[in-house]
Amino acid sequence: MQISDLPYPDPGVPDARSGPRFLWWLGRGQLGGQAKSLCWGLLHFSGIAGLPYAVGLGVEAAVDRDSGGLLRVGGLLLLLGAAITVGDVMLHRTAVTNWITAAARVQQLLARKTAELGAALTRQVAAGEVVAVSTGDVEKIGWFVEAVSRFLAAAFAVVLVCTGLLFYAPALGVVVAVGVPLVALAVLPLLPRATRRADLQREKAGRATELASDTVAGLRVLRGIGGEELFLGRYREASQEVRTAAVRSARMWALIAAVQVLLPGVLLITVVWYGAALVLDGRIEVGELVAAFSAVATLLYPLRHFEEIAMAYSFSRPSAQRAARVLSLTRTDTEPEADLADGGAAPDAPAPGADLYDPETGLLVPAGRFTAVVCGDPDLAGRLAERLGGHPTDAAGGPSVLLGGVALDELALDTARTLVLVQDKDPVLLSGTLRELFDVPASGAVEPAAALEAAQCADVLDALLQSAPEGVQDPMDARITERGRSLSGGQRQRLALARSLVTDPEVLVMDEPTSAVDSHTEARIADGTAALRAGRTTVVLSSSPLLLDRADRVVLIHEGSVTATGTHRELLQGEPLYRAVVTRETEEEQRLAGLELTELEEALTEIEESA
């Protein structure tokens, strides 16, 4: 896989049972890239491993005054230098390619999982953790994948140097062959503690990221209530905890790095001292001592890769664990696709013009009608909206919502999304042009201009044009900032409503679609939406009288079940509970209103009797 080939046509099905298994799955998916990197690494480190012997041969040739030998050694050094240079360049190139491709694969997997779970994702894992996984954790996972081939090549060079010394200078080779493994393995007892400290640091960093994300998302509200300083204080405390944990982790890694410098130095001194004694005794030649000294000095470079692989694994293992946890998340409505993969068959989509029915609440939404649902509990309304879209809000899920007698969570996910669209209470606008905002899967029956008019977005178009760069004449080419932050809450809400209208689904479910607009605009939106959705099934969860009065049918849900059904005016007159929810009357106000009505009826009776 080359970088130019990214993204993957299919990133595959990851092994998300644990962090190490996920890393192993990533490695197996890049065997070709790892093999290339390993081959270039072997060339690079073999050249490094050959330098000590070339130096030793050169010293011996100089001592023996062998000019031909010196020329041959010079040629050998040139060859080794070329191998080191070419191997290093290509090793870096292929290793970085492995890193980028692994990171890209993980990001594709996370993006696919995010799209698959939708709003259910943030109910199972914090938004800050998702951000941390898709940014910092992805880089750490890629780092480990990149470091594996370098480590294997470095390990080969260490073995090659030690084996060569055993044959070239056996007396010193034994010392080096025993000392090098001890140097390489000396840091193993320190790794568990370093890993624990690194895990603690990342855990605290994830919490700080989550707190920062939540604070930024709610900054406008916090400023409105004067609570930004409180949350900033909390973030400062979380940031200091991250700093303290990072310092403790850095101390441990500094100790490991010091050990990796100290012990090879001790080994080098031992080799020089023992080798000098052997030369004085005439047991070895000066060239052999120089070769042994050069070999130990050269080993300092590949031994650093032992420290790197330990750090890379230590940092990437918890990152991979977090990524695996996100990738292992499931939702009930994806189970039919798994059954289909096992040989089962998903049910056929219901025919157009089917009724929508929720067995849990008893809510029936007739096909082709504009139905309004009133809930006294806003949380219940939100859960009902999710359930009507075929997205169970808990593990059990409850009975499935039926569309034309077919359970939505038994349909293939793509089919269910085509049939039913749910607009959340707080819809998200992604950055891009207005034209890109409306570039969504749609029936094609509703043009963006008609949807914008129905959603009363004329002032939004003017505001986008005013903030657009010079030369932009069409508001559809004006750009929307991230999450629509340059727009007011009501403007964002109306653009999201227009986007939902453009899709023109079989069933459109909207949760409080006009909560952030004024009453005059809301009345026009209610008229425009009802006209544009004429003949299509529309459900709006709201307690706004302006929306309720435009609905063909209003359903009151109290304590989780349907209590009353009728038009807005009928329920307002005959259902005290409905009147209390819609007009927000207290029990005392209801009692007084009842007394006034009774007195009026008595007065009318007296007038009739006297007449």
Per-residue confidence at 605, pLDDT binned at 50, 70, 90? low
- Residue 548's identity, in one-letter code, is L
> What is d(CA 70, CA 91) in angstroms, rounded to the nearest whole number?
31
What is residue 413's predicted lDDT score, i.e. its pLDDT?
72
Chain centroid to CA 379: 26
Burial-class residue 494 by CB neighbours within 10 Å (0-12, 13-18, 19+).
Answer: buried
Nearest to 265 by CA among 187, 172, 183: 183
pLDDT score of 129: 67
Count of C-beta atoms within a 10 Å radius of residue 271? 22
- What per-residue confidence (pLDDT) applies to 65? 82
pTM above 0.75, yes or no: no
Is there a shared CATH topology between the 12-201+262-329 domain and the 356-574 domain? Answer: no
pLDDT at 609: 65
Question: What's the rounded Cα separation, in Å, for the pair 477 and 440?
Answer: 16
Pick from 92-101, 220-229, 240-249, 435-444: least confident: 220-229
For residues 284 and 100, what is the distance between their CA atoms, to the nearest angstrom?
49
Most confident of the ranges 345-359, 505-519, 581-595: 505-519
pLDDT digits (tens, 9 = 90+) for 466-510: 888 887 888 888 888 876 777 888 888 999 999 999 999 999 999
CATH domain 12-201+262-329 topology: ABC transporter transmembrane region fold (1.20.1560)
Residue type, 75: G
pLDDT score for 232: 76
Span 157-182, average pLDDT:
83
Average pLDDT over the chain, rounded to whole?
Answer: 82
Cβ-contact 197, 248 below 8 angstroms: yes
Question: Is 213's pLDDT higher than 50?
Answer: yes
CA angle 158, 162, 163 (to 5 degrees): 115
Residue 604, pLDDT above cutoff 60: no
The answer to whether 528 touches 453, Cβ cutoff 8 Å, is yes
Other residues' Cβ atoms within 10 Å of the Cβ of residue 374: 27
Q: List Cα–Cα distances, 504 to 19, 33, 383, 426, 509, in angstroms.
A: 42, 46, 23, 20, 11
Does the domain made of 356-574 have the CATH classification 3.40.50.300?
yes
pLDDT band at 454 (very low <50, low <70, confident <90, very high): very high
Model confidence at 592, pLDDT cuts 50, 70, 90, reads: very low
Q: Which pLDDT band, with edges at 50, 70 and 90, does 392 fall under? A: low
> What's the pLDDT at 588?
47
User: Would you say 526 and 547 are in contact if contact means Cβ atoms under 8 Å apart?
Assistant: yes
Give me the pLDDT at residue 337, please.
43
pLDDT of residue 533: 93
pLDDT, tens digit, for every residue of 64-85? 788 888 888 889 889 989 998 9
What DSSP line would sit under 316-354, residue for residue?
Answer: HHHHHHHHHHHHT---GGGHHHHHHHTT--PPPPPPSS-
> Measured in whole angstroms, how far is the alpha carbon of residue 158 from the centre of its chain?
40
Beta bridge partners of 370: 538
**Nearest partner of 571 among 583, 588, 559, judged by Cα:** 583
Residue of higher predicted confidence among 577 and 286: 577
At residue 346, the pLDDT reads 60
The fraction of the chain above a pLDDT of 90, given in percent, is: 18
Task: Please identify which residue in the block is written with the tokens 């290339």.
Answer: 36
Bridge-based pairing state of the strands 402-403 and 553-558 = unpaired
Q: For the chain, what are the domain ranges?
A: 12-201+262-329, 356-574, 575-611
With cut-offs at 50, 70 and 90, classify the pLDDT of residue 342. very low
Cis-peptide, bond into residue 20, ω within 30° of zero: no
Rounded Cα distance between 509 and 511, Å, is 7
Taking only the tens place, the pLDDT of each residue in 515-568 is 888 889 999 999 999 999 999 999 999 989 999 999 999 999 998 899 999 999
How far is Cα 501 from Cα 421, in angstroms, rounded to an integer? 10
State the sign of the Cα–Cα–Cα–Cα dihedral 482, 498, 427, 403.
negative
pLDDT digit string, tens, across residues 172-187: 888 888 888 888 788 7
Which residues lie closer than 8 Å to 259 by C-beta, 6 or more apart? 186, 187, 190
**Pick from 245-254, 342-351, 564-573: least confident:** 342-351
| pLDDT band at 381; cut points 50, 70, 90 | confident
pLDDT at 425: 79
| Higher per-residue confidence, 225 vs 113 | 113
Residue 336 reports pLDDT greater than 50: no
Q: What pLDDT is attached to residue 262?
A: 86
Does residue 590 surpass a pLDDT of 70? Answer: no
